[in-house]
Amino acid sequence: MQRNHGGSSSMLDALRTHATGPVAKVLFGILVVSFAIWGIGDIFRAPHGGGSLARVDGTDITAREVTNEFENRWRQLQQQFGNNLDRRAAVSLGLMNEALEAAIARRLVDAHAHDLKLTVADETIAAQIRDNPSFQGTSGFDRQTFQMFLRSIGLSEQDYVAALRAEMIRDRLIDAMTGPLAVPGTLVRKLVEYRQEQRRGKALVVNAGDIQVEAPGEEALQAYLDEHVKDYEAPEYRDVTLLVLRPEDLLNEIEVSDADVRAAYDSRAAQYKKPEQRKLEQLLANDEATIRRAAEMVASGQSFAAVAEALKGAGVERSELGPLAEGDLPEALEQPVWSLPEGGVSQPVQTPFGWHLVRVTQIRPEETQPFDAVKDEIRRELALERASNQLPDLATKLDDEIAAGTPIDEAGRKLGIEVLKLQKIDRTGHSPAKERLAADRLTGEMLNTIFAARQGETSLLEQTPDGRYYMYRVDAVEPARPRTLAEVRDEVAKAWTATEQRKRARAKAEELSKQATSPASLDQLAQGEKGVEIVAIGPVIRSDDAALLGLNGDAVHALFATEPGKVAGSVVDVPKGSAIVATEEIVPAKPEPALLNATETLVLNAMRGELLQAYEAALRKRYSVSIDQQALAKLMEQQAQ
């Protein structure tokens, strides 16, 4: 076991998610679909048994438990992003580490709850089970349904009750810490006013590219090269003999029968089903009276667009949403929307962001990809799986050949492995002509090990996280060296010219700024000046993308740091050159209730996060956490196949 006492962002995410619970997912028509990191459903699907992967305060976390959580997370990501995310990619994205950290988070909270002697009465557990909608029959709680559920998840009733008790204790402990938190209304309003304040102004921009600069002499070019010698250094190049073993290289040797493909399709049927989806049109208002007025207008035959335009002054906004699957909407909107037929309009519904009126504009029925449409994809996936299983045998044979003294080139040819001869390759995988070498085989990880190796030695057989094996020999090393001016004259001349143009553009802007006294004076200064332009700014808020105006964050910062009617105290550099910024008008924010509510939620979550971060640090200090890194690496390797 290897000790790991450091903090964990994944654990913190788990605690934050659990503490805050489901949050509203609609903000002015923008939907955010999320999922809980350690909800109770995942606890019940986490079977015990298997080798120990980690220990928290003496309690084991099994490989089976972590694998199960990994599977749940993987399925959730596939539902969000489609079935293109395969198991190997999920491991590469760190999903296995997240699953382990979520399990550690549960154990840490459990350990603390145990020390506090927290428990939940049997009567409370029984009531929770009896009231669970999943276990209801025609006459209330149905024990047969409950037993069928237990069999489906592979738990005894005793284990289920224990898991439920642990989850409820965690809920109460976290809620006790974060529940009393509240955000002062004044803080929320001030924050929204600061973020939503708008400003309007202008900038006088001196374009560096329009400034004529005489051609530099040899002395100037050499001085520039000496000052920036590292920028023009010839990189270290190496000649390398490389063998790479990939599952793809064995595909021609793998046969997958039609029966196997069909069986895989049947076993993965859920992956090829696309759930019913709906497109929506919504009106959002700040109060019930306004949305009911909108509903009356819609009922009279007016379109949502027409109603939004008519009630624009009352703060009504229209948006289009979707396509969305069941479960993508906030809880308050879910049932009303999914009970509507196509073209149906909901009753007014309230969420934390205001009052909604929703119309279903389109219903896309559940679809299942037919076998013929995916059979080639399945055949390739099965072939890759089998090739991955065969790859270690080939790697072992290669290792044996090298151990027997066979040169790497000859060993590759003997085993039918392509021998790559990479001439003059740099650390980024490019040749001196900037050509990418062996792009389909050579990874950044391989390059790092190749450039750390000594010349003439054949490496050990290495394996990458995505399941490739590789071996190499560094045949020659050409050290990095400074380039001469003759080698990089054109590049240096171009860089020197651009630098000189920007220097002169700034000098010109600073000279003009001495005469700038107001926003109007910028227009006068720009008249008759070659290479000078006026750029209107705004109205913008602090977070707007100034690049759309040809400016940058420094220009926007200057706008908000300057009083109306004044010119910024200093010139700012912008993408085209240098600029003088002047502020013309401040447009105060008018915070709407929906935005105030959303901001309050964000601030409250941030406060909870800070509290839970401190809680996490305390738990990590109080309880021992150890991870078997070798077992984790082995599990990741197995899941990536």
Asked whether the whole model's pTM tops 0.75, one would answer no
- Between the ranges 43-47, 334-338, 348-352, 416-420, where is the mean pLDDT highest? 416-420
For residue range 195-212, what is the model confidence (pLDDT) as tens digits?
999 999 999 999 999 999
Looking at the structure, do residues 358 and 427 belong to the same domain, yes or no?
Answer: no
Per the domain annotation, does 192 fall within a domain?
no
Q: Which domain holds residue 104?
A: 2-182+595-640
Instruction: Report pLDDT for 559.
Output: 96
Q: Which of 388, 436, 412, 100 is nearest to 253 (CA)?
A: 388
Per the domain annotation, does 254 fall within a domain?
yes
Looking at the structure, do residues 218 and 338 belong to the same domain, yes or no?
Answer: no
Per the domain annotation, does 146 fall within a domain?
yes
**pLDDT > 70? residue 250:** yes
For residue range 580-600, what is the model confidence (pLDDT) as tens digits?
999 999 999 988 888 898 899
* CA–CA separation, 393 and 463 (whole Å): 13
Q: For residue 156, what pLDDT band results from cuts at 50, 70 and 90?
A: confident
For residue range 517-541, what is the model confidence (pLDDT) as tens digits?
999 999 999 998 899 999 999 899 9
Out of 426, 455, 478, pick the residue that ends a domain: 478
Per the domain annotation, does 187 fall within a domain?
no
The mean per-residue pLDDT over the stretch 367-395 comes to 90
Instruction: Report pLDDT for 37.
Output: 27
* CA–CA separation, 460 and 395 (whole Å): 11
Contact between 272 and 265 under an 8 Å Cβ cutoff? The reply is: yes
Instruction: Report pLDDT for 82.
Output: 61
- Number of domains observed in the structure of the chain: 4
Per the domain annotation, does 189 fall within a domain?
no
Bond preceding residue 392 cis, omega within 30 of 0: no
The mean per-residue pLDDT over the stretch 186-196 comes to 93
76-90, 214-228, 369-383, 412-426, range with the lowest pLDDT: 76-90
Own/partner contacts of 195-198, CB < 8 Å, gap of 24 or more, are 195/541, 195/542, 195/543, 195/589, 196/541, 196/589, 196/590, 196/591, 196/595, 197/541, 197/542, 197/560, 197/586, 197/587, 197/588, 197/589, 198/538, 198/539, 198/540, 198/541, 198/586, 198/587, 198/589
The mean per-residue pLDDT over the stretch 266-295 comes to 90
Looking at the structure, do residues 429 and 411 belong to the same domain, yes or no?
Answer: yes
Percent of the chain scoring above 70 in pLDDT: 91
**pLDDT > 60? residue 221:** yes
CB neighbour burial string for 316-345, b if at least 16 within 10 angstroms, e if fewer: bbbbebbebbeebbbeebeebbbebeeeee
Looking at the structure, do residues 95 and 223 belong to the same domain, yes or no?
Answer: no
- Between the ranges 63-72, 137-146, 190-199, where is the mean pLDDT highest? 190-199
Q: For residue 268, what pLDDT band results from cuts at 50, 70 and 90?
A: confident
* CA–CA separation, 359 and 375 (whole Å): 38
**pLDDT > 80? residue 33:** no
The CATH code of the domain that includes 516 is 3.10.50
The mean per-residue pLDDT over the stretch 595-619 comes to 89
**pLDDT > 90? residue 115:** yes
Looking at the structure, do residues 148 and 286 belong to the same domain, yes or no?
Answer: no
Looking at the structure, do residues 531 and 461 belong to the same domain, yes or no?
Answer: no
Amino acid at 103: A
Q: Which of 421, 416, 411, 413 is nearest to 441 (CA)?
A: 421
Out of 458, 478, 498, pick the residue that ends a domain: 478
Instruction: Report pLDDT for 406.
Output: 95
192-196, 488-492, 594-598, range with the lowest pLDDT: 594-598
**pLDDT > 50? residue 48:** no
Instruction: Report pLDDT for 548.
Output: 82
Q: For residue 83, what pLDDT band results from cuts at 50, 70 and 90?
A: low
For residue range 316-368, what is the model confidence (pLDDT) as tens digits?
999 998 888 887 787 788 888 999 999 999 999 988 778 999 999 999 998 88
The mean per-residue pLDDT over the stretch 609-621 comes to 88
Instruction: Report pLDDT for 243.
Output: 96
Looking at the structure, do residues 67 and 133 belong to the same domain, yes or no?
Answer: yes
* CA–CA separation, 414 and 406 (whole Å): 10
Instruction: Report pLDDT for 81.
Output: 66
Looking at the structure, do residues 246 and 128 belong to the same domain, yes or no?
Answer: no
**pLDDT > 90? residue 90:** no
Own/partner contacts of 633-637, CB < 8 Å, gap of 24 or more, are 635/53, 635/63, 635/66, 635/67, 635/96, 636/91, 636/96, 636/465, 637/463, 637/467
Instruction: Report pLDDT for 49.
Output: 42
Return the higher-pLDDT residue of 19 and 119.
119
Per the domain annotation, does 193 fall within a domain?
no
The mean per-residue pLDDT over the stretch 76-95 comes to 77
Instruction: Report pLDDT for 257.
Output: 94
Looking at the structure, do residues 380 and 315 belong to the same domain, yes or no?
Answer: no
The CATH code of the domain that includes 313 is 3.10.50.40
CB neighbour burial string for 173-190, b if at least 16 within 10 angstroms, e if fewer: bbeebbeeeebeeeebee
Q: For residue 142, what pLDDT band results from cuts at 50, 70 and 90?
A: confident
Looking at the structure, do residues 55 and 158 belong to the same domain, yes or no?
Answer: yes
Per the domain annotation, does 497 fall within a domain?
yes
Mean pLDDT score of the chain:
86
Instruction: Report pLDDT for 10.
Output: 38
**pLDDT > 80? residue 39:** no
Instruction: Report pLDDT for 470.
Output: 95
Out of 350, 365, 380, pick the residue that ends a domain: 365
Could you give the angle at the alpha carbon of 231 between the alpha carbons of 229 and 236, nearest 5°?
90
The mean per-residue pLDDT over the stretch 28-44 comes to 29
* CA–CA separation, 468 and 394 (whole Å): 11
The mean per-residue pLDDT over the stretch 66-95 comes to 80
The CATH code of the domain that includes 142 is 1.10.4030
Looking at the structure, do residues 256 and 115 belong to the same domain, yes or no?
Answer: no
Per the domain annotation, does 394 fall within a domain?
yes
Looking at the structure, do residues 554 and 570 belong to the same domain, yes or no?
Answer: yes
Beta-sheet strands, E only, within 302-390:
317-325, 349-351, 354-364, 367-368
**Helix ranges (DSSP H) in 329-369:** 331-338
